[in-house]
Amino acid sequence: MLLFLAGLLVALPSPPQPPVAGIHIDQQRRVMTIVVGPFDVAAMPPGMMHAMHDEDPGTIAQELTWPVDGWFRGFTTEVLDARGTPLSRRLLHHFTLVNYDRRTLFSPVAERIASASLESEDALAPKTIGAPMREGQRLGLYVMWRNQTGQDVQGVYLRLSLTWSPANLLPSPVATLPIVLDVNFRPGQVNTFDVPPGRSERSAEIVFPIPGRLLVVSGHLHDQGESVRLEDVETGRVVVAVAARRDPDGRVHGVARRLLALWGPGLRVEAGRRYRIVGVYNNVSGDTARHAMAELVAAFAPDDMRQWPQVDRTDPAYRQDLARYGVRTGQESARHDMHEHHMP
């Protein structure tokens, strides 16, 4: 009987621990945990669901440096109160982890190495793939809240756990970086647009500067969104498409995730070939849907990582983009350029 009772005691879950803001690096588990807060999240007025997109991309919550050479694999997020009790993830409109020291594939702006919105799920790649990271790369964590509970929520924390694989992992992972294909991307400007009642599409053409493979594909849509797809402009063929999970009234709860390399090498895309990204909305609300977005988000494995475009911190688009994020791009960046590692 005593052993039975002891087993019950051991099985009891441990009480939540109050979160402590800061950065903790667990070398054994290869996890960096970032805790930011407390935030007092005011209730949003009615009709303000996506109006924050016209203001700024989020509040700078933490600036940090990547701790080791290795392969970034993914993240988990938790929204907590001051006692450590989990809160609804829907309080988190989005977070964005910006890598100041690498650029995106299609534009000279700083890389968004990780991001998630209230419709998104946590992401963890298998050890066979990863984003190459160098010790000392500079990162900025940005957070935006969305409180539609009707009541203010005080003492809110975000705990973000980043997982990596060691640099000497054998066999070496396939170098894979995130890409975002946005139907309305404009460096330094908001990328939202309005959607009339009924079904409509918005599109933009892109050209991959280097060849490679799409390994995982998902998307980002706001309420009334239906799907995002990638087309081959020359043939009109749909290369890949993902659909929103939505209610009959158009409320979006997420976008499907497709694993394209589960049984093969992934989906091939060619350099210099014209592709079209298409966002589809089916607005059943009867009113114009404001501040819509449509993005295809993918894990992209280039044929040769050395061909990835180099970051240029003097580029006006790079500086304008980071200025919108509240990052100074003057002498501090110039001094960093003189001492940086050479990295993809």
Q: Which of 133-147, 174-188, 219-233 has the lowest mean pLDDT?
A: 174-188
Task: Tell me the C-alpha distance between 339 and 227, whole Å.
Answer: 44
Instruction: Report pLDDT for 159.
Output: 97
Q: Which residue, 62, 16, 60, is CA-closest to 35?
A: 62
> What is the mean predicted confidence (pLDDT) over 281-301?
94
Share above pLDDT 90 across residues of the chain, in percent, rounded to a whole number: 70
Whether the pLDDT of residue 55 is over 50: the answer is no
> What is the mean predicted confidence (pLDDT) over 298-313?
96
May I ask the CATH architecture of the domain 177-305? Sandwich (2.60)
Q: Is the dihedral of CA 320, 322, 323, 327 positive or negative?
A: negative
Strand partners, 162: 32, 75
pLDDT tens sequence across 5-46: 334 445 556 678 899 999 999 999 999 999 999 999 999 886
CATH T-level assignment (fold) for domain 14-174: Jelly Rolls (2.60.120)
> What is the mean predicted confidence (pLDDT) over 259-267?
87
Q: Are 235 and 276 in contact (CB under 8 A)?
A: no
Same fold, 14-174 and 177-305: yes
Residue 171, preceding peptide bond in cis (omega within 30° of 0)? yes
Residue 185 vs residue 271, higher pLDDT: 271
Instruction: Report pLDDT for 119.
Output: 66
Q: Are 178 and 99 in contact (CB under 8 A)?
A: no
Listed in sequence order, the residues at least 6 apart from 335 whose beta carbon sits closer than 8 Å to its beta carbon are: none
Whether the pLDDT of residue 343 is over 80: the answer is no
Q: Please tell me the chain's helix, strand, coil percentages from 3-state DSSP, rounded to the nearest 5.
A: 10, 50, 40
Mean pLDDT of the chain: 87
Domain limits of the chain?
Answer: 14-174, 177-305
Q: Which of 218-227, 284-293, 333-342 has the lowest mean pLDDT?
A: 333-342
pTM, two decimal places = 0.85
Instruction: Quote the tokens at residue 123.
Output: 């992401």
pLDDT tens sequence across 67-123: 999 999 999 999 999 999 999 988 998 899 999 999 999 999 999 999 887 667 788
- Give the Å distances, CA to CA, from 117 to 82, 122, 129, 146: 22, 10, 23, 10
Whether the pLDDT of residue 266 is over 70: the answer is yes
